[in-house]
Structure formats: C-alpha cells, structure tokens
A and B are shown apart, each in its own frame.
Chain A
C-alpha cells in the first residue's frame, strides 16, 4: 500500500518499526493485547459503577439515578468486585504475559512458557509485601493495592527480568541431563534469586516500588501554580502514563486546598470571584483531560478520521463508551499508546497545548475559572461548562481544544497505522 508521508513521518515510522521488532517490545505488545479484553470489561464495570451508581457520578447526579434505580447497593458491590477482580490484577496479568511471550519463541514446550509466567508472578508478589510483616517475622501480608493499573510498569519490568532470565536458562540447558531435574534446579535457583531481590527491596526501602514512582510523579503539587509547573505536571503525567503508570495522578487537583477555597468563595458570595484562578484543577483537570489524561478523546476522534487501519478502528469502537466518560485505560492499552514512540509525541503535545491555551485564556479573563467539583464521567467538553457553573466561553474553549488536539493526533495516528501494518505486512512508504 502506497502512502504519502512526510520525511519526519517516515523517520518516525521507521523508528517505530525498528522498535516494535525488538524482542522485548514485541513481548510487551503481545501481553497488552492479550489482557485488553480483561481491562475493557473491568473498565466498563468501573465506568458504570463510578458514573451511574456513585454519588459523585455524572449520570447519577444529572439523571437522578437514586430516585428510579433499585438495588443500587447490591449493584455497586457487584461491579466493585468485578472491577477489582480485573483491573486490580492488571500488574499480575502483565507480568505473567510479558514473561510468557519472551520465553515463547525460545522453546516449543508449553510447560516452560507457563513456568516463566508463574515465576514472574511470584517475583512480583515478593515486591508487594507488607514490610512490617516480613521484618517483624509475622505471617506475611501481601499488598494488593499496587497491582492495579498503576502497576503496569512494574509488571512489565519484572516480566522482562524473569522472561530474559528464563530464556538464558533454556539456552544453557544441558541436553544430556534429565528435563525434570533441570527444570526443578532452574526454577529453584530463580525463585531464590528473585525472592532475595524482593527481600533486599523490602528490607532497605520503606515504600513499595510503585509508591516510590507515584510519589515522584506527584511532586508538582508542592509547587506554586505557574505555567511552567502546569506544563511540567502535564509532561510528567503524560510520561508516567506512557510508561504504564495509569494511576489517579491527575484527579488529585480537585482536592487541593486552593480548589476548596475557590469553591468556598463561589458558594459564600454572590458573583463568580475565584481567589486562585490558575491551579492544576482549573487548568489541567478541566481542560486537558477530555477522554482522560492525554486528551484521549481527541485520539479516538483521530482514529475514526484516519480510517487507515481496521484494527485501530475496531479498538476505537470497543473503547468508545469508557473514553467518552474519561476512562482512558482500555484505549491506552488496546491500541496501544503505552510504549509506542509515535503516539508518545501527540500524547504529550496535545495536553501541553491545551494547558497553555487554557492558562492564557484564564490569565486574560476570557473564561472564568472552574470552581464547582467535577462529577466522575462528565463528558470531556462539558467539564469546563459545568465546572464554571455554565460559562459558554469555557464550553467553546473546550470544543476548540478538542478539535486542535484531534488535529495534533491525526498525522501520528495515521503513521502509527502504517507502522502497525509494516510490522505485519511490509507496506511501501513513499
């Protein structure tokens, strides 16, 4: 298939193809695709729970769900269990799959592939234990709160470590020895080494690996809200998400002291006088998270405008409902955006553009600052409108930013589609 592509695009596509053919990256991509259905189902359950059944949900509030729905509590419990049982185990699934797919090309034996995955899960769990229970010689308590969407990066890293190690063992197996003995010896050695690493981490570090990464990503909250720090926050959030730390990073802005003071000022006095017009909440949460962090709603629109690649479009349709409610995990993992060099650029650039534009409009008083809390699942373009108590200028700005972000995503989505085909079919790039 011939495509007209700029030289920048050709470079990017070439780099993406080279990147994707790397054995490690191939394993990660396979793993993400494998667990996509699980993530999709979990996200849909979470979406319904958060937006329709919880008090802070958009549909719960606007459609007065409490007045007509029945068995709300039961539904909340059921969907909570469903999302915890799927999204809550993301890191375990990723680590198993990455290790499995790394070993798969090296051995025809299913048992070896499965064992590589199992060892990776054990290694991941040895990093997620309650420090006090280990050091105090009590019965060991496992932590489960680091195994969700925010644990994808750690899952990938552990999967790569174990998978590569297992490959090395397979490559160095002695054909004269009996298989069972070799397997037991290899697995025993690996478990001792990996548990040792986990123990070393637990006994020397006071926080889990994930908590350390999340703390790092939250440092801008301690800084004053200038354009520089807002952009820095956007860059850091985007980079973290691209690396697979899909945690509740961006939503913290709505709970800051400044946001509380803004809300108090609006409710206590007549008129709309907000003491802190430029904060993470008024800029990033409100304007740069249509479809979730990374302006992913624009990515979805770009996918349907490009129509280049059938798989992209199919994933787009599957992810439509959660993305319209700002739940971006399925699209980030299904396409995937995570670990994709081509999509990294618009994933960072689109929010940065929105942050800059919104900051300028707020500073110039062209739009009022949002002070009302945002309900979960509020459609991206409506966040600013409802946050400001009905400002049409804010609504207009949101729509403009969504369209601009779509324009930013458009060429990159096209190139990502070409690269995707090239990895499987070898297209002609002119």
Chain B
C-alpha cells in the first residue's frame, strides 16, 4: 500500500515541478502573447503618388477583385491638411484583408510635401488602427506613395506597435527625379540614414517600369534602382523587378497587367 502511494506521490511531485516554470513565467505571459499575436485583419494600404487622389486605385481594386475567391472591401481615406479624415467606401465585417487607399488633400510633388504626407499617413493609420484593431498590415505605394510609406516605416511604425508584413513600391523614385547618378538628393540621404530603423521582418518588392533603357518616361531608372541601397540587408528580403512592354510608362503602371498579377501574387497572397 505504501509503495503504491509513494509512486503516486512521486508523479504528483514531478507534475508540480514541471508546473513551476509556468507559474514563474506567468507575469511575462501577456507581453509574450502580445508580441506573438497577429490580428485576423491585416489590411493592405495603397498610397497613390503626386497629383493623384484617393480614387486613384478604384480601377486597380476592381481588377484585383475580378478573379479572386475572396473579395477585398475598399475603404478610401482622404487626409486633409489639418489632419482631419474623410472616409468613403467601407470595410466589410469579417474581411481579413481589406484594401485601404490613403490619399492626401495636398497631393503636390516636392520634398517638403512628401514629409508632410508621411505624417498625415501616420495620422490615418493610427485612426484606422484604433477603429479596426489590426496589428499587422501590408502596403503598396505608387511613385511618391512608396516614399511616403518608406518614411512611415522608418520613423513612425514603432510608435504604432504594428508589424509590417510586405511592402511593394511601384516606380518609387528614391532619389526623386534626379537625372545625375552621382548626386544624392536630401530625401535619398534621409531614407538611407534611417534604413537601420526599417522592420527586420519586412518583405519588400520594388518594381520599376521601363519604356526605354533609362526610365519609365518620368522617373529615371537609377532613382528606382536606389531602393536597394535603402532596403537590401536591412529587411528580410528585397526583390527588384523591371516591367516593360505595353503600359510601362509611369502613370499606367498600376493598371499594367503584369503588375496587377504581381500585386495579386506577392502582396495579397
């Protein structure tokens, strides 16, 4: 009889011993769960380039929704110069990957404006985060939209405590429209200096359009190519692609069928 209770006691003691690490760890549990937690919703942000509004990607989203089993709902946000937000469209309940287009009332070109747009994007991002409780996302920026997103990732992402999964920049001029390859614009210097702050788990795709051999008609190929000097070695992976053929000029790129296929395959998959 004694022997049987001794074995029983030994096992109960072992069970208790194995529980000790769990008891000691419990105070750190919430932080641990929080760090590993990914919300079900992971929106895809689209940011248009200069001179384009929040309606810039209506056709693209229609195209993306045409051949997909899961329709992405579309919310358009316009950030006014005073930071106020104007919404149109909606996010469907239980849509795990809605598309959110963030446009700006001041959508002019220029170094100063891009800086402001990055801050306005942060304003919109935080407002949406509070409403929809997502903590990870992907993003695509066309032209200057890619610069806005890169600035956001370098400067403001940490404050939002969100995780960036994938970034796709389409014809984003990391050295602006500078034709001289030996000149570094202030924006490029800023992006390059902040590259260490880019999220390490980010997957980046940079797509260039090419009409001739030097660029897409507006942005020089070298300026897009400089993305590698910012992302390479800083993020999980960096892939650079060049699209040629029909619709390869700067403005047509978001509707280019090859790029639509790449967005579907690499950003939404």
Determine the chain B residues whose CB is within 8 A of the CB of A268 once the complex forms: 133
Inter-chain CA distance A412–B34, complex, in Å, is 44
Inter-chain CA distance A86–B30, complex, in Å, is 37
Q: How many residues of A contact B (CB 8 A)?
A: 34
User: Is the beta-carbon distance between B18 and A379 smaller than 8 angstroms?
Assistant: yes
User: Is the beta-carbon distance between B39 and A264 smaller than 8 angstroms?
Assistant: yes
Main secondary structure of the interface of B (DSSP, over half): helix
Inter-chain CA distance A313–B15, complex, in Å, is 18
User: Is the beta-carbon distance between B4 and A306 smaller than 8 angstroms?
Assistant: yes
Interface residues on chain B, size class: 20 to 34
Which A residue sits closest to B32, measured CB to CB?
A61
A59 at the interface (CB under 8 A from B): yes
User: Is the beta-carbon distance between A390 and B26 smaller than 8 angstroms?
Assistant: yes
Determine the chain B residues whose CB is within 8 A of the CB of A380 once the complex forms: 15
Determine the chain B residues whose CB is within 8 A of the CB of A59 once the complex forms: 21
From A297, A305, A382, A390, B8 is in contact (CB under 8 Å) with A305
B115 at the interface (CB under 8 A from A): no
From B5, B14, B22, A382 is in contact (CB under 8 Å) with B22
From B15, B24, B29, A379 is in contact (CB under 8 Å) with B15
B159 at the interface (CB under 8 A from A): no
User: Is the beta-carbon distance between A389 and B29 smaller than 8 angstroms?
Assistant: yes
A58 at the interface (CB under 8 A from B): yes
- Assess A301 versus B11: contact at CB under 8 Å? Given A61-B25, A386-B22, A386-B26: yes
- Assess A62 versus B24: contact at CB under 8 Å? Given A260-B40, A320-B11, A372-B33: yes
Determine the chain A residues whose CB is within 8 A of the CB of B40 once the complex forms: 257, 260-261, 264
- Assess A264 versus B133: contact at CB under 8 Å? Given A61-B32, A379-B18: yes
Contacts between the two chains (Cβ within 8 Å), count: 70
Inter-chain CA distance A268–B29, complex, in Å, is 15
Determine the chain A residues whose CB is within 8 A of the CB of B24 once the complex forms: 62
Inter-chain CA distance A159–B44, complex, in Å, is 53
Inter-chain CA distance A382–B29, complex, in Å, is 13
User: Is the beta-carbon distance between A62 and B133 smaller than 8 angstroms?
Assistant: no
B183 at the interface (CB under 8 A from A): no
A411 at the interface (CB under 8 A from B): no
User: Is the beta-carbon distance between A267 and B34 smaller than 8 angstroms?
Assistant: yes
User: Is the beta-carbon distance between A378 and B4 smaller than 8 angstroms?
Assistant: no
Extra inter-chain contacts (19) besides given A59-B21, A267-B34, A381-B15, CB under 8 Å: A55-B36, A62-B22, A260-B40, A263-B37, A264-B40, A297-B15, A301-B11, A304-B7, A305-B8, A306-B4, A307-B7, A381-B19, A382-B22, A382-B23, A385-B22, A385-B26, A386-B22, A386-B26, A390-B29
